[in-house]
Amino acid sequence: MDMGLTGKTAVVTGASRGIGLAIVRALTGEGMRVVAASRTISPALKETGATLVTADLSTAHGPEEMIGRALAELGELDLLVNNVGGGDTAGDLVGGFLGTGDDVWRQVHDLNFLSAVRATRAAVPSLLRQRGTVINISSNSARIPHTGPVAYATAKAALTAFGKALAEEFGPQGVRVTTVSPGATRTSMWEAENGYGAAVAAAHGVEHEHFLAGLPSNAGMTTGRFVEPDEVAALVTWLASPHAGSVSGADYVIDGGAIKTV
């Protein structure tokens, strides 16, 4: 299916690996001109052919500066994908609520929520002119917060609510806003030796490999496996396309059946 995206422009945050990298590959594969923003530039990201921008999106001015550079490279924007998330606080997120201090709360919310607020605020004037699209990458933890660290889950819940509010405000002006909420996805967050998955495994006294093998079933994923980044990217590509022209304000869960409620 032709997605009708050839020649359109996009900004993708958190693009160096995982879901963000898969999204950049999918959008460039559809003929979009993409600015890929990340704190570090991976070799795999360089291979996509996207325009690369380094930025720390957890800072107050990082997202605005990143959007300014994207506008200079691309002209007007047709799509903003707020994907950046996770963070470097994996070891600080496994101690429960009482073990999570203010600094960690600020770091997690700056990266997982406020980065999207700031980037969207900077991009909206151009998106309004283009009748463009915003896609926020949230998490199924926003709906089942007991499955993730409390700081992360509440930041993602805020991001999901933010998307719904934006859709209501800017939908009548031609800007579509949607949310994608993956469950456990095969990324470095779970698989890296110094990532969140390894920290959780260590906290429970189990081998990291054994923890990963059991995670899908323990999370209630009826597919019995992790979500693949390319699967999330395919959904994002469709939502960005004219084929989803009547979709706005929706939150698409892609979590292998982990959420059981209607």
**Does residue 173 sit in the same domain as residue 232?**
yes
- The catalytic residue among 109, 113, 152, 244 is 152
Contact 171, 159 (CB under 8 A): no
- Let me know if 252 is a catalytic residue: no
**Does residue 141 sit in the same domain as residue 18?**
yes
Give the pLDDT score at 89. 67
Q: Tell me the per-residue pLDDT of 74-100, one tens digit each, with 9 for 90 and over.
A: 999 999 999 999 866 666 788 889 989
Number of H helices, E strands in the chain: 10, 7
- The reply to whether 90 falls in a domain is yes
Task: Give the closest residue to 77 by CA, choosing from 5, 133, 2.
Answer: 133
CATH number at residue 93: 3.40.50.720
**Does residue 112 sit in the same domain as residue 150?**
yes
Two tokens at 187? 């990324």
By residue range, what is the domain housing residue 15?
9-183+228-246
Give the pLDDT score at 91. 66
Give the pLDDT score at 261. 93
**Does residue 158 sit in the same domain as residue 217?**
no
**Does residue 158 sit in the same domain as residue 203?**
no
Domains identified in the chain, total number: 2
**Does residue 26 sit in the same domain as residue 52?**
yes
**Does residue 21 sit in the same domain as residue 94?**
yes
**Does residue 140 sit in the same domain as residue 160?**
yes
Q: Tell me the per-residue pLDDT of 209-259, one tens digit each, with 9 for 90 and over.
A: 999 999 999 999 999 999 999 999 999 999 999 999 999 999 999 999 999
pTM of the predicted structure, to 2 decimals:
0.96
Q: Which residue type is seen at 75?
A: G
**Does residue 29 sit in the same domain as residue 92?**
yes
Contact 182, 176 (CB under 8 A): no
Q: pLDDT 10s digit of each residue in the chain, 262 long?
A: 899 999 999 999 999 999 999 999 999 999 999 999 999 999 999 999 999 999 999 999 999 999 999 999 999 999 999 999 986 666 678 888 998 999 999 999 999 999 999 999 999 999 999 999 999 999 999 999 987 799 999 999 999 999 999 999 999 999 999 999 999 999 998 999 988 899 899 988 999 999 999 999 999 999 999 999 999 999 999 999 999 999 999 999 999 999 999 8
31's torsion region: left (phi>0), alpha (psi -120 to 50) or beta?
Answer: left
**Does residue 68 sit in the same domain as residue 122?**
yes
**Does residue 23 sit in the same domain as residue 53?**
yes
